[in-house]
């Protein structure tokens, strides 16, 4: 799914892209660490946001 040059992933695609669980993605959203987009009942994650979140995790652990 693309819009204005942005790529948005479904929850399943975001899980595959990051290797994180559905629960971890949800907790990151609840903490305000990760944005998501709701389109009706569908949830989408911006690939750039997911990548930035993963970099932040890597830097935190390293």
What's the CA gap between 38 and 55, in Å, rounded? 24
Residues in contact with 24: Cβ distance below 8 Å, sequence separation at least 6, in sequence order: none
39: confidence class by pLDDT, cuts 50, 70, 90: very high
Residue 47 burial (10 A CB sphere; 0-12, 13-18, 19+):
middle
For residue 3, what is the enclosing H or E element? strand 2-3
Please give the order of strands across the beta sheet that includes 42-46.
Answer: 2-3, 6-9, 42-46, 37-39
- For residue 61, pLDDT beyond 80: no
pTM of the predicted model, to two decimals? 0.82
**pLDDT on residue 57:** 82
**Architecture of domain 2-61 in CATH?**
Orthogonal Bundle (1.10)
């Amino acid at each position: 799914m693309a819009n204005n040059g942005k790529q948005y992933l479904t929850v399943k695609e975001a899980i595959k892209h990051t290797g994180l669980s559905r629960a971890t993605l949800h907790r990151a959203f609840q903490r305000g660490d990760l944005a998501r987009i709701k389109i009706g009942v569908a949830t989408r994650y911006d690939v750039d946001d997911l990548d930035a979140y993963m970099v932040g995790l890597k830097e935190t652990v390293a």
